[in-house]
Structure 1
Amino acid sequence: MYDVVIVGAGPVGLFLAGELALADCSVLVLERDRERTSPWKALPLGMRGLNAGSVETFYRRGMLEELLTASSADGELIGADPDAHEPPAPRDVSHFAGMRLDPADIDATALPFRLPGPAMEGIMTSLEAVGTVLTEWAAGLGVQILRGAAVEAVTQDGDTVVTRAGGRDHQARWLVGCDGGRSTVRELAGFDFVGTEPLFTGYTASVAFADPRKLAMGFHLTPAGMYLRTPFEGHLGMMDFDGGAFDRSQPLTREHLQTVLRRVSGTDTALTGVHLASSFTDRAMQVTAYRNGRILLAGDAAHIHSPLGGQGLNLGIGDSMNLGWKLAATIHGTAPDGLLDTYTAERHPIGAAILDWSRAQVATMNPGPNAPALRRLVHDLLSTREGTTHVFRSTSGLSHRYDLGSDQPLVGRTAPDFRLADGTRLGDLLREGHGVALDFTTDQRLHDAAMIWKGPIRYAAGPVSNDLGFGALLIRPDGVVAWTDDHDPDHEAFRRAATRWFGGPTA
């Protein structure tokens, strides 16, 4: 019997599998598809954006260099001067409803608790590149991956979950569905899935144009919808505001795609061929709880929305990072009461906010006689310094804050990448998936308190290049700050925080 069976070998399932294996859990991943690679995962159809928060997550697990190599990204564009005292200004900002904003308008002083480090920016990548890196990581940690195993049935009792897939029963203590927006696990386990119905049918395709010059490169809003052309030959995206009526309802023929393209682009462009094509909608749905007994959901299985702004993959990686260490502690019997319940409590509001971000973009793009005026107004507001900064905060993945019941401003946020005098960074200390106690004061009482949790918490002390005014911090395995104090740390407060997140003393 496995500790955990994960359904879905996409980035979310593989990242979660690695997190659990890092914590000495036995993991089996079941994947419906027999082949790991496909044209839908490779560029250009598999192109995805990882925001700065997700890049930071790969860095904190020691996979950033491999990710940059697999993505053909320039590491110099990601990192920062290792000797810098202050972080560089952001060099990119996401779009809102296709409106590109100038990163020079970001107010860096309004971005609290940033420090220079190797992971400061987002990157463009592909599902194939991310999958390759995560597959190698998970397999190296002992994760078993069974391909060609579609889930047929799921049953659970108070102690185990049995998943029937590929004609066999697979027994585990826990099951996690990471099997996408049309999740079989979600349906079989009876999760409530609620939200809003679509306004458009979207298309992504690889086509041949009779005259490519009739369609400009880039993202184009029109009176009838949207089209997108990228530098990849024949790569086409479209949005047709038909209420989602066409999605998966009829074959995606060349004639249909050409009709939609002519309508949304306002041109007479012709398609001479269609190599691959798929449709999607802006349907925005979320499960009411991420756990049902011994079955949990993560990624698109827990929430779906339009791909505008590229937040879906990032949201799923955040789910896995949050869930992994909590589920592992529960399996090993070291979790404090209610720890696993904090997965829904922390991630559901983040998912709900991303769904609303997606809905707002769709509403801004929806054609109609009043649409141009609304778009101009939104563009003017977002092009201000405050507006551009707001978009960056909302899409970078670095400004999410969990409500951990503290008024300390850094608690609940991702920790800055503090650098100790010997060159060690926080990212290095988080690589093995432990919590970290950072002590800039070398207070013996705090050292003694931290040593009581020597197993789940790694203690590190010494001066840092920039302490941001803090004397000590307790950081969870997912990189979230659980406790901070000034230059006279309260070791009893540290003990309470450590007990809350890591259970009773281990030494």
Structure 2
Amino acid sequence: MHDVVIAGAGPVGLFLAGELALAGCSVLVLEQDEDPRAAWKSFPLGLRGLNPGSVETFHRRGMLDALSAASGVDAAEFAANSGGPRSVSHFAGIELDAADIDPASLPYRVPGPASESLMTSLEAVGEVLTARADAYRIGIVRDVPVTAVEQDADGVTVTAGGKEYRAGWLVGCDGGRSVVRRSAGFTFVGTEPLFTGYVARVTFDDPDALPLGFSLTPAGMYLRTPFDGHVGMMDFDGGAFDRRQELTRDHLQAVLRRVSGTGVILKEVHLASSFTDRAMQATTYRQGRILLAGDAAHIHAPLGGQGLNLGIGDAMNLGWKLAATVRGFAPEGLLDTYTGERHPVGASVLDWSRAQVATMRPGPGAAALQRLIRDLLGTPAGTAHVYRRTSGLCHRYDLGGEHPLVGRTAPDLLLVDGTRLGELLREGQGVLLDLSGSGRLREAATAWDRLRYIGGQARDDLGIRALLVRPDGIVAWAEGHETASATFPQAAGRWFGRGKS
């Protein structure tokens, strides 16, 4: 019997498995696909953008260099020498100029290796996370689709591939059509689709007939990237295309011609898939001993690439909380904070997706609305707003406390000895960082055996004297130069339990 079974060996399931193993839990991952390699996971169809928050997550677990190498990107190129981001994606196909972002509008940030977004692929992410799983000797059983789930007071029984697997806990990371979610009776609510989207690798008769980048048209939107033959399109048909149908060359050509308003000819279709903007979310991410993460918990249109980032955030938030629960040292209610913290983030991303679809939807007022949005996003304030909403750095959990850093991701402070705060989180422990130079919190920190005390000074302390950072990198307590530290024991107790016995 394992501590935790995870359904799904995608990026979210593998990341979560690594987090649990890091904390000493026994984990088994069940995956329905036989082969982890697939053409749609590699460039160009597998192209994904990790926002700075997700890049920071990989940095905090010591995997950023490996991911950059697997993605074909030098991690040093992503160090923010200028103190600000260079790439901020788009909103509804309207590309944004990173030069419009004032770094001063992003408080409590310092330049570092995780300051910017990273273009990668599902293949590269899977390769790095599988290597981590192998290093922890995590069992991954493939070609075993989950067909049934049953829980009782002591654990969960999962039927997959004709066999039964027993564990104390089950996490469904098995995608938008999650069997775990349906079998366990989670309520999944939201809005129905307005469009069918397509992504394909094709051979064009005349590639120059379609410009590079996003093109909003009276019939929808299409995208052509610099990758040879890579095209995407959105057809506002109410999501009518049946995904069980074969995606033929004639169908894709007809859609692309209608959306682009051109006579483009597709000579050959090498690979293609479809999707919709159906936006749904589980009302809770936990039912007893069964939890959901990633697309199993929420689905939405892939506009702006928020899906993978949202799922990685789920896994990082859940991992240490579930591990503490499994190992018996979680404070009361800790696991329930997973839904409490992540559900609002998911709801926000779904609304962000819906807002983009509404902006792109053809109709009498479409062009006027798009001109208005384009004007607003062409301002520094508009661009900064989009960045704050999509960077993964600016969300704040409601943890109480008056300091503005509490509930936010911790800045990657650089200590005078060359160590970064992110590096101190690699073992998955909480960190009490005391920058006062007095060592006054050292004795208080020893009351918690799952909390690492670090005393020192930062090259730029941003006005901070001390930080209590959770294992997921979220600030649980902060002290500025002008405030007292009387609440540190209460904050530590809330997240790390009663302390040493």
Band the TM-score falls in, shorter-chain normalisation: over 0.9
Report if the CA contact (8 A) 1:434-1:477 is conserved: yes
Answering whether residue 458 of structure 2 is matched by residue 472 of structure 1, we say no
Is the 1:472–1:489 Cα contact (8 Å) retained in structure 2? no
Task: Give the counterpart of 2:453 among 432, 453, 459.
Answer: 459
Aligned residue for 1:43?
A: 43
Does structure 2 conserve the Cα–Cα contact (< 8 Å) formed by 1:45 and 1:205? yes
2:126 aligned to which of 128, 131, 151: 131
- 8 Å contact from structure 1 (residues 449, 491) kept in 2: no
**1:54, CA displacement in angstroms?**
0.4
Residues 157-168 of structure 1 correspond to what in structure 2 (within 5 A)? 157-168=152-163
Retained in 1: the 8 A contact 2:51–2:117?
Answer: yes
**Which of 164, 183, 191 is residue 188 of structure 1 equivalent to?**
183
Aligned match for 2:283, one of 285, 288, 300:
288
1:400 matches 2:395? yes
Corresponding position of 1:170: 165
Q: Which runs of 5+ in 2 are unaligned?
A: none
CA distance in 1, matches of 2:442, 2:417: 19
2:2 corresponds in structure 1 to 2
CA contact (8 A) 2:479 2:485 kept: no
Structure 2 equivalent of residue 33 of structure 1: 33
Please tell me whether the aligned partners of residues 2 and 28 of structure 2 are also in contact (alpha carbons under 8 angstroms): yes
Native 8 Å contact 1:156 1:294 kept in 2 = yes
Are residues 1:371 and 2:360 paired? no
Alpha-carbon distance, 1:90 to partner: 1.6
What is the aligned partner in structure 2 of residue 487 from structure 1?
481
Q: Is the 1:207–1:271 Cα contact (8 Å) retained in structure 2?
A: yes
SS at match of 2:305: coil
- Is the contact made by 2:439 and 2:455 (CA closer than 8 Å) also made in structure 1? no
- Find the aligned partners of 2:483 and 2:63 in 1 and give their Cα distance: 33
Which amino acid in structure 2 is aligned with residue 250 of structure 1?
Answer: Q
SS at match of 1:159: coil
Q: 2:322 aligns with which of 327, 336, 341?
A: 327
CA distance 1:25–1:244, shift in 2 (3 Å): same
What is the number of residues matched between the two proteins?
501
- The answer on whether the counterparts of 2:87 and 2:98 sit within 8 Å (CA) in structure 1 is yes
Give per-residue Cα distances to partners, 1:252-305, cap 9 Å, x unaligned: 111111111110010011112222211100000000000011000000000000
Tell me the alpha carbon deviations over residues 340-397 of structure 1, each in whole angstroms, 9 at most, x when there is no partner. 0000000000000000000000000001121000000011011111101001111111
Contact 1:191 1:289 in 2 (8 A): yes
Query: What letter matches 2:21 in structure 1?
Result: A
Residues 1:258 and 2:240 are matched in the alignment:
no
TM-score normalized by structure 2? Answer: 0.98
Structure 1 residues 195, 375: CA separation in 2 closer, same or farther (over 3 Å shift)? same
Tell me, yes or no, if structure 1 residue 435 matches structure 2 residue 430. Answer: yes
In the alignment, is residue 304 of structure 1 matched against residue 285 of structure 2? Answer: no
The amino acid across from 2:302 in the alignment is P
Partner of 2:87, secondary structure, is coil
- Report if aligned partners of 1:94, 1:391 keep a CA contact under 8 Å in 2: no
Contact 2:52 2:393 (8 Å CA) reproduced: yes
Q: Is the 8 A contact 2:80 2:116 kept in 1?
A: no
Matched residue, 1:84: none
Question: Aligned partner of 2:59: which letter?
Answer: Y
- State how far apart, in whole Å, the 2-side matches of 1:444 and 1:101 are: 45
Distance 1:250 1:113 in 2: 50
Which residue of structure 1 aligns with residue 19 of structure 2? 19
C-alpha distance in 1 between matches for 2:143 and 2:39: 18
Q: Secondary structure at the match of 1:244?
A: coil
Identity of aligned residues (%): 67
RMSD: 1.2
1:247 Cα offset (Å): 3.9
Amino acid at match of 1:285: M
The one-letter code matched in structure 2 to 1:312 is G
Matches of 1:139 and 1:291, distance apart in 2? 28
Q: Which residue of 2 aligns with 1:61?
A: 61
Quote the offset at 1:136 in angstroms.
Answer: 0.3
The AA in structure 2 aligned to 1:261 is L
CA distance in 2, matches of 1:491, 1:53: 28
Deviations 1:215-243 (CA, angstroms, capped at 9, x unpaired): 11211111101111112222111100000
Residues 221, 235 of structure 2: 8 Å contact kept: yes
Between 1:347-356 and 1:401-410, the stretch displaced more is 401-410
Partners of 1:445 and 1:491 within 8 A in 2: no
Alignment partner of 2:401: what SS?
Answer: coil
Asked if the contact 2:398/2:407 (under 8 Å) is kept, the reply is yes
Distance (whole Å) between structure 2 residues aligned to residue 157 and residue 381 of structure 1: 53
Q: Give 1:77 deviation, angstroms.
A: 2.2
Q: Partner of 1:471: helix, strand, or coil?
A: strand
The structure 1 residue matched to 2:491, chosen from 472, 478, 497, is 497
* Equivalent residue runs for 1:140-159 within 5 Å: 140-159=135-154
Query: Residues 102-139 of structure 1, C-alpha deviation per residue, up to 9 Å, x if partnerless?
Result: 11111221111001211110011000000000000122
Distance in 1 separating the partners of 2:416 and 2:30:
45
- Is the 2:194–2:239 contact (alpha carbons within 8 Å) kept by the matching residues of 1? yes
Q: Distance in 1 between matches of 2:36 and 2:269?
A: 24
1:159-208, Cα deviation, whole Å (9 max, x unpaired): 10010111111100000000111111111111000000000000111222
Shift of 1:209: 1.5
SS of 1:152's equivalent?
strand
Contact kept, 8 Å, 1:417 with 1:427, in 2: the verdict is yes
Range moving further from structure 2, 273-282 or 245-254? 245-254
1:395-437 deviations in whole A, cap 9, x for unaligned? Answer: 1111011000222200000000112211111011100000000
Look up the match of 1:89.
84
Distance 1:271 1:38 in 2: 23
Q: Mark the runs of 5 or more structure 1 residues left unpaired by the alignment.
A: 82-86
Find the counterpart in structure 2 of residue 242 from structure 1: 237
Given that residues 173 and 294 in structure 1 are in contact (C-alpha distance below 8 angstroms), is that contact kept between their aligned partners in structure 2?
A: yes
Which residue pairs with 1:409 in the alignment? Answer: 404
- Measure the CA separation in 2 of the matches of 1:218 and 1:271: 18
For 2:110, give the aligned amino acid: L
CA distance in 1, matches of 2:482, 2:376: 43
Cα deviation, 1:307-349, whole Å, max 9, x if unaligned, reads 0000000000000000000000001110000000000000000
- Note closer, same or farther for the CA distance 1:148–1:249 as it changes in structure 2 (3 Å cut): closer
